[in-house]
Structure 1
Amino acid sequence: MSLPSIAAARHFDATLHVPFLIGEERVGWIRAFDVASLTRWPNIFVVDETAVRLHPSLNDVDARTAALHDVIDTLAQQGKIPGWRNETYAIRNDFQAAPLAFIERAASRFFGTMTYAVHLNGIVKYRDGAPRLWIARRSDTKSVDPGRLDNVVAGGIGWGMDIEPTLVKECWEEAGMPAELASTATPGGTLHVLQMIPEGTQAEQLFVYDIELPNDFTPQNQDGEVGEHRLARIEDVARWIEEGEFTVDATLATLDCLLRHRWIDEEACEGIAALYTPPSL
């Protein structure tokens, strides 16, 4: 069975975008209809029919960051970059690579630059052998996917943070989970998303983790980003995935968990295998 979220994770049409380059490296995708808004900065962008290039005179991280900051601030004031987060993301095509520039998190989708996130599946195993998952519902005030179902913990990885420290931080903020418990999480799969979204392009690498939670643990949100938590049977989780109740990212992270634990058949996740490999464009 083909699930809508699996198809959505690679719903991307390169012909509707132009590549965004720093030097000779493509670092993002910009929607074709957004390109015109960048031509007012000829000292920052070199624009032609084939690409948007950061001006070669901006030849170090500090210069690129300063130039992009002014652009991003203006675009945000014009409403072209919504959901300002006051978080710094690095422009880099590999999580371990040196940054080429730093930008506001919200701008990463306008420029289609690579981002990184961690997702945690909260597993509870009862004596009857029937596993359950803690599921979060995103706050209705979230700028992205308000009110949709999500993993018990999920968050973007900002500059200066590694994967597991981000996981520990998000575990407290989103679920009130102490660091001692959060540090028992174990890594699962790594998935790659490239999809067109209202804000632009989501190019994201998802690091999936699992954690076995005590039967008496109940998540308690601390930062207002989660509307509620619910403890759900696997069959209910599978049904919500099929009905499209989860975010695309959470769908993939949850399916990764269900497949690894053999709580769902591979036939129910047709197409997911391709998402463990970065898209080739």
Structure 2
Amino acid sequence: MTGIRKTVTLAALSFVLPLMIHCCGSGGTETTGTTGPAGGAVPATGEISGTVTDAVKTDTLSGVAVTAISSASGSEVLAATVTGVSGEFSLTVPAGGCFVHFSKAGYISPARVFVNVRAGMTTMLNPTISETPASEWNVLEPSDLGKLLATKICPGCRLYGADLDFADLAGADLGGANLSAADMKSADLAGALLNGVYMTGTDLAGADLSGAFMAGAKLADANLANANLSRAGLTCWADLSGADLSGANLSGADLSPGTTYLSGANLTGANLTDANLSGANLTGAMWTDGRLCQEGSIGECR
């Protein structure tokens, strides 16, 4: 029946799956679908959708980074997004088994959830996450720092003001982590998962963020001078307001959709070749040629 998508609901998240057969996309060679009895194409993908809520207040939560990965310990990203204003999300992933995790600054990240996605169907996932006490958020937690350096997997970790200059964090999972005010000069974060990360005022001068997933990242007033952000995904209203991007490489970076915040940013000498700035708010930004972008500069400097 074309045009109809069936739905499977996962009623609970607190379960253990004793046997995992295969990961998303690993169960066959087809990538565009197979042929059904009537000759129609059978999709090779399915959807994971749902709503994230606060475990105590029961309010829906916007700005939660939602990521599907291929294995419990791996960092191959299959799909990533950030929850909308009503806490809703939807991911399209290859059919098969995969893991989904949720992270938001100020919240404790739950364990990664295994989901078996069936082709052409929608699996509903409605997690609840608990808030971290305010007094415990803007801190440097030594065990979190040790975990990051040992495993590169530290979503939601408390790393405020951490000393990570020249650190090898390529491909690291830091979704929703608090890295505000951290020293990350010349750090290798190529391909890192930084959806929803807090990096307000962080020193990332000369860092390699090429190909990083940075949907909804909070980078206000960060120092990104001469950083490599080529092909980085700064979507879903990532905040770069007041950031120093002078001399940065943003070639092929995606800074859409919606109002991505670049107001007051310094883009002097930055490389914006093939960068997607559609919807980006450039009001008050210093453009690549030293011009000050006027009020109403959306998507281009005026």
**TM-score of the two chains, using structure 2 as the length reference:** 0.27
| Larger fraction in strand | 1
| Larger fraction in helix | 1
